[in-house]
Chains A and B, each alone.
Chain A
Amino acid sequence: MNDPLAKIKPWFQGVSLFWPVLGLGLLLIFNAVFSPSFFHLEIRDGHLYGTLVDILNQGSKVMLLAIGMTLVIATGGVDLSVGSLMAIAGAVAAMLVMKISFAMAVAISLGLATVAGTCNGLLIGYAGIQPIIATLILMVAGRGLAMLLTGGQIITFEHPSFVFLGNGHFLGLPFTVTIVAIVLCFTLVATRKTAIGLFLESVGDNEKAARYCGINAALVKVMVYAYSGLCAGIAGLIATSNIKAADSSRVGEFMELDAIFAVVVGGTPLTGGRFSLVGSVIGALLIQTLTITMYNLGVAPAVSPVPKAIVIVAVCLMQSARFRAQILGWFGKRRIAA
């Protein structure tokens, strides 16, 4: 332990929750200082209200997408189609919910999203197409299909259960929080308490080696893209329920980028391998907090991509071995000088 850097070095290496938590913490402290009402919570009609609750509620869609995206990125892929799948699921559910039972409408729309995700997986796993391109196809065509379904119109609906999905409260918190918690717990158990997580990491780390070990890499890929599709479907239902209408041309637009961003900020490298679901959820919360901070500061929503861009590049640099070496080099020199 002669190396004075030994203590900080681990923070710079591997998947660690340190950076996303630090980022989120800094943002929260910043808000606490500059907008005192930020941490204000109050109970009205038995429901909790406040900015923090808003972050959880509005961040739910990106959190859901990020959970599915984490698994995809863990296998070394990426899923660009989630925004379009949200639009498809929302459009289908909005059209069916007035005609058939709510449960059936939800099942059919989520089923469709899962099938579409499976198609991505088949193209990537079995046809060997690059993930960016395979999912780009569905991203472009999927939104077209969603608009075709709704005839390019915004479809509105009145259905108490469906509206509850995105606007209701459960245990004093928005119901969306419960949905995210359930999906997160299920995914955590599925990946950490079974061998699936190990399969994902080995496929992402070295596909060839994984295949030689007897892991069906193609099947693993199909599964993660199908799951990503399912998560996107749930997020689409929430987004549609939020505004009580299916707006196929707008819903989920650019959300795939937010989701990828959340995953990367959360410490899962785009190259695949190790992943952190909790990190991705924290990353999603960080984005939402950033957005709400911008609103609080009175920055125009249109300008808000700028800080996002800065965070992306900063996070990329943090993950770069060369950049870390450079920074550590500076620290080292200073230590020696002192």
Chain B
Amino acid sequence: MYEGFFSGRVITNLFADNAALGIAAVVMTLVILSGGIDLSVGSMLGFTTILIAVLVQQKGMHPLSAIAIALGIGTVFGAFMGFLIHRYDLPPFLVTLGGMFLARGMAFVISKESLGIENAFYNHMADFGIPLGGKAALSATALIYLLLFALGIVVTHFTPFGRNIYALGGSEPSARLMGVPIGSTKIAVYALSGFGAALAGAVSTFYTTSGNPTTGGGFELDVIASVVIGGTLLTGGVGTQLGTLAGVLIFGTIHSALDFDGRLNSYWLRIAIGGLLLIFILFQRFLTRTSALTR
């Protein structure tokens, strides 16, 4: 329909433009597989972007150490939410909702306005690209996404930790009886989710070379939608990282198609995503009709 849509450039851009979404989706897949949900990733992303921007611009810190601090805060933040969820048996929905408000508020405490990042390291990162022939080149953000995705596949599908997550999401009581370390698995999953959200924030600072406390509003829903479109069941225990990649790419392709068309507005994106979600979920429902998903 659109000329030049399937050029290498568009494909690599698909990865570069959706790197933040993809990174958050990799870890969200783990959270949802474990039977939980994390609503705080969007706010955490916004918090991270402004934190890094302030540390680099106003405190004169090296970007790498600023990012390391941000990743540390994200991990601790996620681990704390995981602790509350596990120790006090609280609903993940509410705890991470609290986390969402907290992170958003803290972002504004750091700075109320967006802040551009001017730094040699950032310029270097923006120029970085592995040429793939033609006009296509793999940018740093796309590279980080692909690395994390590969790591995600290994962790999810080839480690005991990954199997514990599946067991936990399949049935918590059974997992407990089987001797799966419920507490540490849950806390680790939310800690990873916090880490992923912070990494997504760091990647989006590379992409925009700025920090903005308002970024990431509604981002968590995009992430959850991508994961669900990718076939992961929200009840937990069923899903794959590869599916999530497909979900992210579908999401990104709709974005690009709307950009190519030019006539269509952002509200068509929302309608398309909603419609896709509906189709995929009804389809999933149809496939899993026989298994007793209704509690």
Contacts and interface: CB of A to CB of B under 8 A. Distances in A.
A and B: real partners? yes
Contact of A140 (B112, B265, B274, B295): B274
Contact of A309 (B105, B108, B225): B105
Given A140-B225, A148-B268, A316-B88, A304 B98 contact: no
16 contacts: A127-B282, A137-B281, A138-B274, A141-B277, A142-B274, A144-B268, A144-B274, A145-B271, A261-B97, A309-B102, A316-B88, A316-B90, A317-B84, A320-B90, A321-B89, A322-B88
Contacts of B97: 257, 260-261, 312
Given A143-B270, A147-B265, A148-B271, A316 B95 contact: yes
Contacts of A309: 98-102, 105
A139 B224 CA distance: 13
B221 A140 contact: yes
Interface string B263-278: 0011111110111011
A270 interface: yes
A148 B278 contact: no
A128 B285 contact: yes
Contact of B225 (A127, A136, A264, A303): A136
A307 B266 CA distance: 33
Contacts of A319: 90
B268 A127 contact: no
Contacts of B275: 141
Top 6 closest A-B pairs, CB basis?
A141-B274, A144-B270, A306-B105, A309-B102, A302-B108, A147-B267
A300 interface: yes
Contacts of A305: 100-102, 104-105, 108
Interface string A255-297: 0010011001000001100000000000000000000000000
Given A128-B293, A270-B91, A323-B88, A133 B101 contact: no
A270 B94 CA distance: 9
Given A261-B97, A305-B102, A322 B87 contact: yes
Contacts of A261: 97
A198 interface: no
B274 A316 contact: no
Query: Which of A128, A130, A133, A304 gathers the greatest number of chain B CB atoms within 10 Å?
Result: A133
A78 B93 contact: yes
Contacts of B37: 132
Contacts of A306: 101-102, 105-106, 109
Contacts of A144: 267-271, 274
A305 B226 CA distance: 27
B278 A137 contact: yes
B285 A320 contact: no
A134 B213 CA distance: 30
B125 to A, nearest CB: 29
Contact of A133 (B102, B266, B281): B281
A78 B168 CA distance: 23
Contacts of A133: 228, 234, 277, 281
A16 B295 CA distance: 27
Contact of A152 (B104, B109, B265): B265
Interface of A: 78, 123, 127-130, 132-134, 136-145, 147-148, 152, 207, 257, 260-261, 264, 270-271, 300, 302-310, 312-313, 316-317, 319-323
B159 interface: no
A136 B277 contact: yes
Output the residue of B109, B228, B277 with the most chain A CB within 10 A.
B277
Given A141-B278, A257-B101, 17 more contacts: A136-B225, A138-B274, A140-B225, A140-B273, A144-B267, A145-B271, A147-B265, A147-B270, A152-B265, A152-B266, A270-B91, A270-B94, A306-B101, A309-B100, A310-B102, A313-B95, A316-B98
A300 B88 contact: no
A148 B270 CA distance: 10
A29 B276 CA distance: 50
Given A141-B275, A303-B105, A320-B90, A313 B98 contact: yes
Contacts of B274: 137-138, 140-142, 144
Given A316-B88, A320-B89, A136 B94 contact: no
B253 interface: no
A141 B87 contact: no
Contacts of B285: 127-129
Nearest to B279: A137
B290 interface: no
A310 B100 CA distance: 11
B57 interface: no
A148 B101 contact: no
A317 B88 contact: yes
Contacts of A141: 270-271, 273-275, 277-278
Contact of B295 (A129, A139, A207, A260): A207
B294 interface: yes
Nearest to B107: A302
Contacts of B277: 133, 136-137, 140-141
A128 B87 CA distance: 30
B256 interface: no
Contacts of A260: 94, 97
Contacts of A145: 267, 271
B12 interface: no
B235 interface: yes
A141 B277 CA distance: 10
A320 B88 contact: yes
A131 to B, nearest CB: 10
Contacts of B268: 144, 148
Nearest to B293: A128
Contacts of A320: 88-90
